Amino acid sequence: MSDQPSTLNPQPSTRAVLLLVEDDEDIRSQMKWALTEDYEIHLAHDGASAVELFQEQTPVVTLLDLGLPPRPNDPDEGLATLSKLLAIRPTAKILIVSGQGERKNALQAIGKGAYDFITKPADVEELKVILRRAVHVAGLESEVQRLQESIQHDTFEGMVGTSPQMQQVFTTIRRVATSDAPVLILGESGTGKEMAALAVHRLSPRKDQPFVAINCGAIPENLIESELFGHEKGSFTGAHTQRKGRIEMAEGGTLFLDEIGELPMLLQVKLLRFLQEQTIERVGGRSTIQIDTRVVAATNIDLKTAMGIAKFREDLYYRLAVVVLKLPALRERPSDIPVLARAFLKKFAAQNKREVRNFSPPALMALEKHDWPGNVRELENRVRRAVIMADGRFANPEDLELGSGETPGVPRTLKEAREEVEREMVLQALRRHNDSITKASADLGISRPTFYELMEKLGLHKTVKE
């Protein structure tokens, strides 16, 4: 065999590419014969040919002898070649082959970034195991990099989505952001309505001005007017100083009214007046204040249904819904689930300094099978837990607090099937509306007494709210 670099099987191959750097022709022949069935092998006899082939062939794994010409009895040339290869590709999997008396040199190579080492004469079966592991690790790292690049490409103002539904959402946001028109964002809890509102703001001419958010359903009714419109000193008990409200604080920027469907009717009138006139009066005040702010509202309830039962003003709805942006539920865009899950995994693994790199196949199946009533927020919380609980580099279904993803048994009778569907719908409605009977029953289109009867029939005894 010639000492010049040579290639075995130059035809295209699906086998992993292996670069063997060895100055001894007999050892090269033996190694080539032992590994040719599993790998596409490229041979180099010195450092220069190794660097050239490494750049040309991009091997998945490299076997590098430290004793290379011109000083085969000295590790310096091998170590120098190792440094050159890692400078070309720092994540390269380079396996050092060393003699029994060169263990110290092999450990020095590991310190420089080599993947592992094996002593001469190499045990073929042991070598194959180490090579398979190196190829597997390289594949995992390549997949992680591909996903990271995909996530970066498909990330839009912090929102991740490769599905057609989310791409349409991103397109709509880009179009409406440049105007000052009010936007109404619709979607179930946990779908990312505030992130969408923030994206509208960040892409608008108002991006350098304040983004002020208020959850209309989280503030007691007797305080929300002051929170929105501000108050003058002495306007009510406890008003010791003048205070600006959220609307005034959003001057020049964007006001985000989350859960707008929870706003009391009296305040809906006052908000409508602001939208019409762009002026406000603080609580206890007598002068009008001109405000320039864009309004983005969001809700997880059906406002048209609320209008039909006199819970939401029709004129306010049409003032807010100049542009309507509908965020899909996570179950409606299943292709985004693994992309989002891996993005969260990477984020929380870095935050918690954990070695969790990916999901096991059963975990991926469980992610796919779950219905995600809590949408992206639920997925984020489950992945955060999985990163903390995982024992090793892979998160499993139990780390996510999910089943294995296997299809459950088929109900034996029509009655059992019907009850199973009813139970799941009731539980999902309660989860969506934080255990509120009133909201859950309205969501399912039934009365509260009927909802109670259904819960009793199904044996559901949850702690619920009116």
| Banded model confidence at residue 466, pLDDT cuts 50, 70, 90 | low
**pLDDT of the residue at 176:** 94
What pLDDT was estimated at residue 317?
96
Q: How far apart are CA 448 and CA 437, in angstroms?
A: 7
What's the CATH fold of domain 6-150? Rossmann fold (3.40.50)
pLDDT in tens, 45-69: 999 999 999 999 999 999 999 888 8
Question: Each residue of 368-391: pLDDT tens digit?
Answer: 889 999 999 999 999 999 999 988
Could you tell me which residue, 260 or 105, shows the higher pLDDT?
Answer: 260
Residue 145 has pLDDT above 90, yes or no: no
Query: Three-state secondary structure along the chain?
Result: CCCCCEECCCCCCCCEEEEEECCCHHHHHHHHHHHCCCEEEEEECCHHHHHHHHHHHCCCEEEEECCCCCCCCCCHHHHHHHHHHHHHCCCCEEEEEECHHHHHHHHHHHHHCCCEEEECCCCHHHHHHHHHHHHHHHHHHHHHHHHHHHHHHCEECCEECCCHHHHHHHHHHHHHHCCCCCEEEECCCCCCHHHHHHHHHHCCCCCCCCEEEEECCCCCHHHHHHHHHCECCCCCCCCCCCECCHHHHCCCCEEEEECHHHCCHHHHHHHHHHHHHCEECCECCCCCEECCCEEEEEECCCHHHHHHCCCCCHHHHHHHCCEEEECCCHHHCCCHHHHHHHHHHHHHHHHHCCCCCEECHHHHHHHHHCCCCCHHHHHHHHHHHHHHHCCCCEECCCCCCCCCCCCCCCCCCHHHHHHHHHHHHHHHHHHHCCCEHHHHHHHHCCCHHHHHHHHHHHCCCCCCEC
**Whole-number pLDDT of residue 6:** 42
Confidence of residue 94 (pLDDT cuts 50, 70, 90): very high
Assess if CATH 1.10.8.60 describes domain 332-395: yes
Whole-number pLDDT of residue 101? 64
Using left for φ > 0, alpha for ψ between -120 and 50, and beta otherwise, residue 187 falls in left
Mean of pLDDT values over 412-424? 66
Q: Is the bond preceding residue 121 a cis peptide, omega within 30 degrees? A: yes
- The CATH 3.40.50.2300 portion of the chain extends over 6-150
In the predicted model, what is the mean pLDDT of residues 256-267?
A: 93
Let me know if 22 is exposed, middle or buried by CB neighbors in 10 A (0-12, 13-18, 19+): buried
> Most confidently modeled of 14-18, 208-212, 240-244?
208-212
Interstrand relation of 93-98 and 279-280 (parallel, antiparallel or unpaired): unpaired
Mean pLDDT of 156-167: 88
Long-range contact set of residues 217-223: C-beta below 8 Å, sequence gap at least 24: 217/258, 217/259, 217/261, 217/262, 218/259, 221/264
The yes-or-no verdict on residue 326 having pLDDT over 80 is yes
Delimiting residues of CATH 1.10.10 domain(s) in the chain: 414-458
The answer to whether 185 and 297 are in contact (CB under 8 A) is yes
* Cis bond before residue 220 (omega within 30° of 0): no
Q: Residue 5: is its pLDDT beyond 60?
A: no
- What residues does 258 pair with on adjacent strands? 215
Query: Rounded to the nearest 5 degrees, what angle is found at the Cα of 63, between the Cα atoms of 61 and 65?
Result: 155
CA 357/CA 341 separation, integer angstroms: 11
pLDDT of residue 193: 95
Q: Is the pLDDT of residue 141 over 70?
A: yes
CATH classification for the domain delimited by 162-328, as one of 3.40.190.10, 3.40.50.300, 3.40.50.1450, 3.30.230.10 = 3.40.50.300
Asked whether the predicted pLDDT for residue 415 surpasses 80, the reply is: no
Q: Which residue has the higher pLDDT, 287 or 430?
A: 287
Asked whether the beta carbons of 430 and 452 are under 8 A apart, the reply is: no
Rounded CA gap, 104 and 94, in Å? 17
Answer whether residue 11 shows pLDDT above 60. Answer: no
16-20, 22-26, 310-314, 402-406: segment of lowest average pLDDT = 402-406
Q: Which of 124-128, 347-351, 441-445 has the lowest mean pLDDT?
A: 441-445
* Residue 1 banded pLDDT, cuts 50, 70, 90: very low
Tokens of 465: 């709210």
Most confident of 19-28, 101-110, 181-190: 181-190
Residue 12 has pLDDT above 60, yes or no: no
The percentage of residues in the chain with a pLDDT greater than 70, rounded to a whole number, is: 88
Residue 404 contacts by C-beta under 8 Å, 6 or more apart in sequence? 362, 365, 366, 397
- In 3D space, the residue among 194, 201, 163 whose CA is nearest the CA of residue 185 turns out to be 194
Q: Quote the pTM value.
A: 0.57
| The pLDDT of residue 106 | 79
Domain 414-458 = CATH 1.10.3470: no
Q: What does the mean pLDDT of the chain come to?
A: 85
Q: State how far the alpha carbon of 412 is from the alpha carbons of 226, 409, 416, 420, in Å.
A: 58, 9, 7, 11
